[in-house]
Every structure is written in C-alpha cells, then in structure tokens.
A and B are shown apart, each in its own frame.
Chain A
Amino acid sequence: EAQVTQNPRYLITVTGKKLTVTCSQNMNHEYMSWYRQDPGLGLRQIYYSMNVEVTDKGDVPEGYKVSRKEKRNFPLILESPSPNQTSLYFCASSPLPGQSSLDGYTFGSGTRLTVV
C-alpha cells in the first residue's frame, strides 16, 4: 500500500530534550515536506526537500532541522524543543511538480507533540 509513515503518533517531552520525528514514504517520491497545524493558523510549511541532499526552509523553520540522506526518509529534528513547538505535525510527499500535475500530496497520519 502506498503510504507515508510517521512515528511516533503521540509524544510528550520536556523542554530542551532533543527529539526526532521520523517520516518514510514508499512511493519513490522526490518531494517531501513537513507542516505544522495550529488552531486558527492552518497548515504551515516548516521545511521541504526536492531530492536527496536538497532541503529548503519553509515559512516557519526556526527551531527545526531536517535531513534527506535517502529518498524515502525525511526526519524532522527538534534539537532543543520549547513549549511553542507543541503542535500537530504532518509529513507529506509527492512527485515533483511538473512530473505529475494530477497528484496531490500524500500525508502521513500526523504526530501530536506536546512540549512541557
């Protein structure tokens, strides 16, 4: 089954304790991205990647890091989490725009992160 797998689904952590949220896709998509969802603010892009070793900042990258060492994986790293990073996070993947204009993004199931 074609899917984007995110782990964990839920995470409660303390301020300053480094954490990684994993994202893996099995559709051979070049494009992957991370979004956060906050009440009243909609989905906001954190980082995105158009291919292996190519990553770019989205609209809200502060406090986050990403890596794209393999095509299928795009982990989100919070080096020193703070309470304002409490949010619902989604990973998404798609073919590169222009390769298939009919495909939307495929989203992972989400990670609800609480930083206390």
Chain B
Amino acid sequence: ILNVEQSPQSLHVQEGDSTNFTCSFPSSNFYALHWYRWETAKSPEALFVMTLNGDEKKKGRISATLNTKEGYSYLYIKGSQPEDSATYLCAFMSRGGADGLTFGKGTHLIIQP
C-alpha cells in the first residue's frame, strides 16, 4: 500500500489570510498527483491534476505546485474566504494509473470570519 501523507491534519485560518498545506508521496513510479476539495455532505470535486515535475496550476485564489523528484506538492489558498472551508485531499497515481488513486487523509481547513 502506497503512503500518501498530508499535513497538517486540520487548520484554522482567519478570513483574508493566505495559507498552504502539504502532500508527500513516493518519489518513484510517479504518474500523476490529484488535488480534490471535499465539502461537508457533498462529494469530492477535482481541483487539479498534475503530471510534470515543476508543474504549477491555478484556479482563482487556489494554486498548487509539484515536485516529483522529492515527492511533495503544496496547495496554496490566497485571501481565504469562508467558502474555502472544506477538506482538501491529495491523491497519488503510479504505474501509468493502472492501480487508480491512493488518497491521503486530507487537510481539514476551517476559515474563521
């Protein structure tokens, strides 16, 4: 079983502040790294799919970077808003994707007004 670690486990951030959190994954057999946003009582929604070392992706105030050589990815949220409150999941895909995604346990983000 592949080891995908996310930190911190939970995070309280003041509205308007920027924040970031980490996903670490095996640096061998890398194929893709996914980020998902999961709001309470809903299902996870894809944010980014990253495949190349050095990739940077952005969607509005949220961005992500990828380092496949050292096995980590950062997710950044600029100017946090209450609607950013959610659990953010990263997921690692190896071996050409044949085994599907292995998920981390997530970072639970709470934005305080």
Binding site for B on A (CB under 8 A): 31, 33, 35, 40-45, 48, 50, 56, 58-59, 90, 96-98, 101-110
Contacts and interface: CB of A to CB of B under 8 A. Distances in A.
Contact of A45 (B32, B49, B101): B101
Contacts of A108: 43
Contacts of B100: 31, 33, 45, 48, 58
Given A45-B101, A98-B97, A110-B43, 17 more contacts: A35-B103, A40-B105, A42-B105, A43-B44, A43-B89, A43-B103, A44-B103, A45-B99, A48-B99, A56-B99, A58-B100, A104-B46, A104-B49, A105-B34, A105-B44, A109-B42, A109-B43
A45 B102 contact: yes
8 contacts: A41-B105, A42-B105, A44-B103, A45-B99, A98-B96, A104-B48, A105-B46, A109-B43
A107 B47 CA distance: 13
Question: B interface, how many residues as a size bin?
Answer: 20 to 34
Given A59-B1, A96-B97, A42 B104 contact: yes
Contacts of B48: 104
A102 B102 contact: no
A56 B106 CA distance: 25
B70 interface: no
Given A42-B106, A45-B102, A98-B97, A103 B49 contact: yes
A107 B45 contact: yes
A97 B43 contact: no
B32 A50 contact: no
B36 interface: yes
B106 A97 contact: no
Interface in B62-89: 89
A108 B43 CA distance: 7
A97 B46 contact: no
A14 B89 CA distance: 32
A90 B43 contact: yes
